Every structure is written in C-alpha cells, then in structure tokens.
Chains A and B, each alone.
Chain A
Amino acid sequence: MLIFDELKKNDPQLRLVAAVLAGGLCLLLAGLWWVQIVSAREYESHLETQSYRTVRIPAVRGKILDRNGQVLAENGPQYNLSLYLDDLRKPFDDAYGQALARVRAAQEQLMAAQEKKLGRPLTKIERRQFALSPDQREQLREQARFHVASDVVMQISERLGQPLQLDATVFDRHYEARRALPYTLLTNLDTVQIARFEEQYTGTLGVDLDLQPVRIYPFGEIAGHLLGYLQRDDRSEQGEDASFSYRLPDYHGIVGIEGGCDAELRGRAGAEAVLVNNLGYRQSVNTLSPSEPGHNVVLTLDMDIEQAAAESIERRQGADARAAAVVMDVRTGDVLAMVSSPAINPDYSANDPKYLADPKLRPQINRATQENYAPGSIFKTIVGLACLEKGLNPEQTYYVQEDPTRPGRGCIYIGRRKIDDTVTPGPYNFKRAIMHSSNAYFITNGLHAGVENIVRLGEEFHLGERTSLPTRQETAGIFPSLDDVNSSGWHDGDTANLCIGQGDIAVTPIQMAVMVSAIANGGRVLWPRLVERIEPQDPTSAEAPAVFPSGVVRNELGVHPRSLKILRDAMLAETEDPEGTGYPAKVPGMRICGKTGTAQVMDEHNRITGHNYWFASFAPYENPRYAVVVMVETEAGGSGGLTCAPIAHDIYEEIQKRENVDTPKTLAEANH
C-alpha cells in the first residue's frame, strides 16, 4: 500500500516525514474512534438533554360506573386557547429588528446633536457610550416579544368578543422556563367561544385550541363520599421515567373509589419528546411512549337506590343532616347504596372551604364507614342471639319493674346503679322485648348468658375490624376482646352497658349492614363488595375484565337456624306490629324486619349532648335480599323509629319500584 511504500523508502528524510504524517493521522483516527465509538452514547445523551424536552402526558383516566352502566365519573373535554410561541418566532425577531432600528436611529440623532454641540466629530470612546449594552438589547427583545404576543391576544380578544389581557411577567416567565410548550391564554372555552374562534380563525396567528380532559361527575354530589376526589399531582409513578422537562397536569385520587382504585383508573402516563432548536423553540413533537388509558371501575352501586336514599335523608332531615345509609345485598354482600350526609362534591374545588372545615358538619367524613358510633339497641340483636344460643327460652317472660322516679317507665338495678328502661313495666318475652327494645330484659338475660358469649358472638360478626373497602375511608370500630371482659376491670355494669349497645362499643353503618345481612342470610358474615369489576376502557379490547367475586364469606356464625328464625320473627314484629318501634318503615307489599336503636352521645363530662338514631333492617322477610341500615346523628329529639325508619321506608319503596320493573329478574339474580 501507498502508505507503507512511503514508510519503507530508502530516503531517511521522507521516511521520517511519512512516519510523522502517519502518526498524526493515526492520532486523529484514535481521537475520532474515542469520540465516535467509545463515547458515542455519552454525546448522544448530551445531544438529547440539550435538544429534547420530554413532556409527561397523563393517561385518560378510567370511568366509574354503577352496576347498571350509569356513569358516575368520566372525562369531558375542556378547550383551552393557546399561543404557540414557535409560530411567533419570526414576528418576534421582526419586531425586535424594528425596535432595534428605532432605538439606533434615536441614538444617531443624539450623537449628531452632541457633535453639533461640541462642533467636532465624537471620538470612538464617546461613541461607545451610545452603544446598546447586552442587557438593553435583551430588554428590547423582551418588549418586542410582549408587543407581538399582546397584539395577537388583542386580535383574539376582538374575535371572541371577550376581553383578554396578557400578563407581561407571567408571559415572560413562561417564555423563559417553558418555551417549548404552548402558552395557555384562556381556559375552558364555552361552545359559543369555540364556534367564534373556529369561524374566524385565519390560521396565521400562532393561536390554536388545545384539548384537555377534565373530570366530570354527572351525578354531582350524589355518592360524593364514595367517589372521593382527585388532587393535582404531576409526579411520576413508580416504574415510570422519573425525569421530565415538563409535565402536563395530572391528578391522583386521594380517597374514595378515585383514591382506592387510583392505580387502575389512572393508567400509565406516556411521554412525548419535543425537539427544540438552539433557541429553545419547538421544532417537532414525537411520541416516545404512548399513554395507556386507565381502566373503568364498575361498582356494585345502584345509582337509583343511592339517589333515593340521599334524597330521602335530605327531605326528611335536611341537607345539613349528619346521617348515613347503607343498602347491601344480603346474599352477595354487594353494596347497592352508601350515602353519607352532609354531601361533598367530588369536584373538590367546587366545595366551599369554610363548609369543608365546619367542625360540626365535618362533610369530609364518610359517615357510612369512617366514624365510630355507639350502636345502641340495634346491638340487642347480637345480645339476643347470644342468649338464645345459650338456651334462653324466647317465650319465658321477664317482668320489668317500674322506675320509682318515673311512673309508667321501667328500670333495672345493677348493683346500686339504676339503668332506665323506656318500656312500660310488665311482662316481656323475647319478641316483645325486641319490639319495644327493653333494656332490662336484655341486660338481665345478657348477664345470665355471660359477657364472654356476647363478645365471642360479636367477634364472629367481626365487630371491631375493618371490612376492607377500597375507599381508604374506614374505621375499625371498637369492640371489647375476651381478655378485656375477663380482666378485673370489667364489671357487671360494663356488661349491662354492652347489652344495650353502649359503653365500650362502637360500630360503623357498613358493619351493621354486614351484621343484619348475616342475620338475614342464615348466618353468613360476608365481605362487602363495592367494586364489581375493573375493565378496559376500550370495549373492543382483548383484555379480560378483572371481576371481583361476589358473596365471599368471611365467616359462618355457626348459630342455630332456630335462633336466627326467632330473632327474624321478632324483628319482623318490630316493623309490622303497630306497637313496634320500627313501624314507620313499613312498606305495603314488602315484609321488613328491623331493629331500631338510640345511643346517647356524651361529652367529656358525661353530659348527654345528642343521640345517634339507628334503624337496621332487611327485607323481604320470606326471602331476604336487601339490608338497609340508616343512622342519623342529631341533637334534636327523636328515635330510631321516628327518625331513621322513615328514611328506610323511602329506600324500600325505591327498591320495591325497581323490583317491580325488573320482575321477575331481581337485581341480585341478574348478577348471577
């Protein structure tokens, strides 16, 4: 080869020159190899960091639907008007050029005037004083940009017939920090504005409409607690690229279904790469990874029942009522309705912050699952069941003695302590005791059966434990353990309190719905089910929906069916007998079994500050399908029967209406 020929030549001087040349070329070659082969990746990443701006594109959030396909939460389009800076680059430059020429001309005049004054040409140093500093140029540039942009905004403003103002500092900050992204001028255009813009848009302004999804809750505040709410959070998920130059607005669910099923609803954010030139303007946009839309969450909820329950509470107790209602399918554990009052709007920003912070109303709490309430007399169902299991003869009568201080009312003495009974003195069997909710009867028989047996049965019902709803809004309640009741600190007085659902016990409405369901369905304690399935948004997707099994048994009570029958009969009498406390719940054509309850709420000085009224029920008696639990927290007078049973009545009416429409296919059957 030529090179080696030269290196081999018998001409020492040329040979040395050839060697130096070859060495030099080899050095270049080695350098190029180092830069282009060994360090190629490093320089590629330099190239990317300087010329690509990555943008995090949130995925389309999944919908939330009820069991019949009614939409509870979805995404609507919001149109924003945006200024595209890359299209305005030339006008920016032109305006700057003109401004610079103007300023220069002015400076020339000043210099000419100065020369005239001095009568001699200015020296170089003197002229330099008139030159523009880089800062002045930058300022001119900034002004030129702002002029161009605000001119465009003015034109748009005229076309839309809406005054628009461009804020110089905001615009400049956007230009400096987010130049590759469009500048949003106006958010949430209405249809008239969109039409006007589309009609009159000439396409040369550097302005265009941007589509941004917004979360919409078509039912407003209905089921607001259950749905939860979203919070702006643009951060990256785990397993996602952590570094983005820009992030488009994204939202994370905080509580409720939006919170509990956030991972499924949110999908996977995608990434776009915006290629920018050396001045930071947008050149082109590539999708690096497309976003994967979130999944739809189908609830077990029936929005008609939910709505009826919410409306009933509002109609009967007012919008500020502190109340909760839970409707559950006793055979499957499906939650058909879950209402908490006062309502909250799932569109969090639509709520009045003062209202949200109200210490008495506490609208943020989901009262169906998130607050401890003393169950009062509805706990007598469990006490009664424990007594029956311990051999209580339901027909055996117990004589309630008269309270010496309150003629016509009963009482019972535990040691030296007197406990009031609201029933009239006289003989009570099991049925009458349930119907009239006699304290004396259940305290006496409860003590007789032994507190351990009551606690054991309560534990079978999983009182004091969460029901594992995905809403992140659950409290476990309070229930004494066997150790507690066996300790020396536990007295008969405590047992007496427990027998009437007071003292060391607290429950949530959802726990009571599970309890009533177990009584109704023959002793199966179910896991409540709120989410029926999670399915892809695209109905043509090949991905199979994830179906959550229904009717999952958490525990079999193992009580005798005869005991349950006795209890159910007594509960039936409570609503069907005109003397029964639950009579106001009665719905013609539907046999409802119920138990009312009233628990006193005390402050720290043991003064009664209010009451929790309860109505726990199920229907129909013959073939139980629905459990309805209503709870109202109030300072006003009332009772479980007068305050809560009418709400249950309304709910059952709605259920009956639906049953008639669907006959013979009931909701529960449709689910199987």
Chain B
Amino acid sequence: MSTTPLNQEHHERFDRLQLAALGGLMIIGTLFVYSATMANPVMAAVPWYDQAWLRQLVWYALGLGAGAALCVLDYHTLARWSFVAYWVTIFFLIVVLVPHIGSMRFGARRWIDLGPFQFQPSEFAKLAFILASAHFLSRPADELRVPLTFWKGIGLLLLPFALTLKEPDLGSALVLLPTGLVMMYVAGTPKGYLLKLMGAVGLLAALFLVDVLFVPPGWWQISMEPYQRDRLLVYFGRDYTAFASPNATPAELQRLRQQELDDQYNVRQALISVGSGGLTGKGWRQGTQNALGYLPRAVAHNDFIFSVIAEEEGFIGSLIVLGLYALVLFSGLRIAGQARDRLGRLVAVGVVTLIFSHVFINIGMNIRIMPVTGVPLPLLSYGGSSVLGSLIAVGLMQNVHIHRKGY
C-alpha cells in the first residue's frame, strides 16, 4: 500500500480495501453464527429459513442496502438532518424506558418490539449522535474555544449516554464516551478542556468504583442493577464475602461464595473457550465449550461469538479477526485524513472510534481485560440492530470517501 501513489488511490469510488475487510468479517460472522447455533439442538431444530445464520445473512443484505442507500446522498445533506435523527432516537430512547412499550429481556429494557423483529434504539442513537456531534463540532475551530460550545457538545453526549445507562445498557453507554471525546479532540477542542474533562470523568469513575468495590452494604451505595455490580466485582476479582455482614453465618458465606462462582461463570467459560483454542483451534464446529453448553447458549452466538471463533480457530483465527478489524479501522482513518472537510473527517473518526470501542470492549471481555458488558462485536455478533447499525456506520464512512472530491 505504501508504494501506491496517493493519486492512484483517489481513482477508486469506494474504499475497496475496507469493503473487502467487511466482506471477510461478514463471511466469518455467518460461519460462526452457524457454528454457535447449530451446536444447540433446540436452535438446530428450527426450520432452515428461520435459522440464525440465515437471518444474519438477511440482516447483512439489509444493512448493505441501507449503507448503500446512505451513500447516494452527500453526507452534508445527511448532516443537515442529523439533529432530526438525533432527537428521534432520543425520543425512542425515552419510549423504550416506558413499561409495556420497551420489552424486557435479561433484566433490561433495550428493545422495542415491532412484531416480527425487535429493534434496539441505542444502536441507532450512537449513529445519530456521531452525525449530530460531527455537525455540531464542524463549526470553525475558534468557536470551539467558547466554553458554552464546549458544554453544549458535552450535553449532546450526555443526553443519550444517560438514557442508555438508564435502560440499563452500560456497554452502549460506555462506547459513547470515547467516541464523543475523540471527536471533540479531532475537531480541535482546546486540550485544556479535554484534559479537565477526562480528569473529571476519571475521578467520577474512580469514586464510582470505590463505592461499588469497597463500601459495605448498609452504607450509601450507588443504585445500580445487582448484576452490574456483580460483573464489576467479578472483573476486579473482589471477594464477595467481604460484603457479608460481620455476623454472617457460614451458610450465608457459602451462599455468597457460590454466587461469586456463578457470577464468574460466563467469564470463566469464555476464557476456557478462548484459551483452549490454542494456536490453531479445534476446527470449525468442533468446539466443545459451545457444543456442550458450557458457554451459555443465550450469549454464545451474540455477545460471546468471539469465544466460539477463538476456540474453533485458535490464535490464528483471532489474529485474522483482529487483522480484518484493523483494516476497517485504519482505512477509516485514511478516509478521515482524505476527507473534503472537517465534517467528513469528524464523521469518519467518530465511526472508527465507535467500531474500535465495540471491538475492544467485546474482545477484551472475552479475555478478561474488560468487564462483561453487553456490547456486540460489530458484524460478527448475531443481531439485526447491531448489524444494521454497523453497516450504516460504515456506509457513512464510505459516503465521506465517495464525496471527498465533491462530485
């Protein structure tokens, strides 16, 4: 690539390298959604036209269609409508919280039931946020020095962040933070503001963690779902018995230990899956962790799809997946660098950061460098909203690429 003169690259209408990497990811996604679901006798018994891998393929097609459709309009046109999209998604984020409208799954209200399928407004809120934020931040750099503008930018980020957190969907909320911060940084927000902001966020996070990890029950504790607290306790390896009252009976302590083990279960099984894959893996559809049901069946084909890939294809498979994501991300940065204006540059950077955050958090939780949060792996995890969201996001990037010369 480095030998290719810049002007040659510019002849391409689409960024083909990025599209090829996406294609690779989609092939892997189909294969392993198949592998993950067909090992489950209940899912395998479903008629072929209703099976997860086929549904995934349909979502890929729809997503590619939606992404391509977005490329027809210049991203400037899209950006003009970005605030409409932003407020619409904010509306849905509020609606989803309303009982009877938002449907409850695994203790969280994240989905809106539309009959044949359900959609997750937070997936689209991320995109709308990127567009709106890019539109907002693309104003002249001098204006960004005005504190009010800075606070408005923060507000733009905090609104969907708070609503998503309320669902609760910690993962989706968390990916908004780096996306927003990186966009502000690239837009040219003064470093002093950003450092102070990061300091404040870091302090809040530290206080939050101290509260969760060390404050015994009965004292003031941040209210959060028990499973979220447990996930953090598991991630930081805290002993559950530390939270027992001093006069707890052995039976209670035993129960706490058992609960600790149960809560660690997913992470432990994911680690065993990934680790036992070794260098070359056990072969497609040969992974036992998934087939025997140790890797929980409910998450094997979506949030923990990477475990299935890593177990069956080993370190080499992991390397290929990481490589494909690297291609998508860095070609995205190249698009940002070649963009016609600050708006395009910010959109591309936003999308790149969003995808990166998903990849980092998801793969990270499989190898226990990140706590477990329900963040899908873009294009690989099974799920319509996620696939659609990812492909639309890439469509936005391609849009920036296509319209880099203004034709």
Residues of A participating in the B interface, judged by any CB pair closer than 8 Å: 1-6, 9, 11, 13-14, 16-18, 20-21, 24-25, 27-29, 31-37, 39-40, 42-44, 46-47, 50-51, 275-279, 283
Contacts and interface: CB of A to CB of B under 8 A. Distances in A.
A123 to B, nearest CB: 16
B337 A46 contact: no
Interface in B324-339: 325-327, 329-331, 333-334, 336-337
A6 B279 contact: no
B294 A32 contact: no
28 contacts: A2-B334, A3-B326, A5-B334, A14-B336, A17-B182, A17-B186, A17-B353, A18-B333, A20-B182, A21-B352, A21-B356, A28-B369, A31-B367, A32-B310, A32-B315, A35-B271, A35-B367, A36-B275, A36-B278, A36-B279, A39-B275, A40-B275, A44-B275, A44-B276, A46-B268, A46-B276, A47-B276, A283-B292
A44 B337 contact: no
B363 A35 contact: no
A277 B275 contact: no
Interface in B299-315: 310, 314-315
A4 B1 CA distance: 10
B292 A40 contact: no
Given A14-B186, A17-B352, A31 B275 contact: no
A29 B310 CA distance: 12
B271 A31 contact: no
Interface in B346-377: 349, 352-353, 356, 359-360, 363-364, 367, 369
Contacts of A20: 182
A28 B277 contact: no
A5 B336 CA distance: 13
B369 A37 contact: no
A25 B315 contact: no
B318 to A, nearest CB: 5
**Chain B binding surface, main DSSP class:** helix
B377 to A, nearest CB: 12
A18 B331 CA distance: 11
Given A17-B333, A36-B278, A28 B293 contact: no
B38 to A, nearest CB: 16
A16 B268 CA distance: 35
Given A2-B327, A6-B333, A36-B278, A13 B364 contact: no
B293 A278 contact: yes
B294 A43 contact: no
Contacts of B182: 17, 20
B292 A6 contact: no
A21 B292 contact: no
A20 B356 CA distance: 10
Contacts of B363: 28, 32
Contacts of A278: 292-294
A43 B275 contact: yes
A25 B352 CA distance: 13
Given A28-B322, A33-B315, A35-B271, A51 B294 contact: yes
A24 B275 contact: no
Contacts of A46: 268, 272, 275-276
B307 to A, nearest CB: 11
B272 A43 contact: yes
A239 to B, nearest CB: 28
B298 to A, nearest CB: 12
Contact of B279 (A27, A40, A277): A40
A51 B292 contact: yes
B85 interface: no
Contacts of B334: 2, 5-6
A20 B352 CA distance: 12
A47 B290 CA distance: 12
Contacts of A29: 319, 322
Interface string B240-281: 000000000000000000000000000010011011111100
B58 interface: no
Nearest to B348: A14
A37 B315 contact: yes
Interface in B214-262: none
Contacts, number: 133
Nearest to A44: B276
Interface residues of B, number: 48
A4 B315 contact: no
B2 interface: yes
B278 A40 contact: yes
B190 to A, nearest CB: 13
Interface in B85-105: none
B119 interface: no
Given A2-B330, A17-B352, A36-B278, A279 B293 contact: yes
A16 B352 CA distance: 13
A39 B353 CA distance: 30
B265 to A, nearest CB: 10
Given A13-B185, A46-B276, 13 more contacts: A17-B349, A18-B333, A20-B182, A24-B360, A28-B369, A32-B315, A36-B278, A36-B279, A37-B278, A44-B275, A46-B275, A47-B288, A279-B293
B315 to A, nearest CB: 4
B315 A14 contact: no
A42 B333 contact: no
B40 to A, nearest CB: 11
Contacts of B369: 27-28, 31
Contacts of B345: 14
Contact of A36 (B314, B333, B359): B314
B17 interface: yes
B232 to A, nearest CB: 19
Contacts of A1: 1-2
Contact of B288 (A13, A34, A36, A275): A275
Contacts of A27: 360, 369
Contact of A43 (B2, B274, B349): B274
Nearest to A4: B2
B289 interface: yes
B333 A14 contact: yes
Contacts of A283: 292
B17 A2 contact: yes
B275 A51 contact: no
A43 B360 CA distance: 22
A2 B334 CA distance: 8
B181 to A, nearest CB: 11
A50 B277 CA distance: 15
B305 to A, nearest CB: 15
Nearest to A37: B315
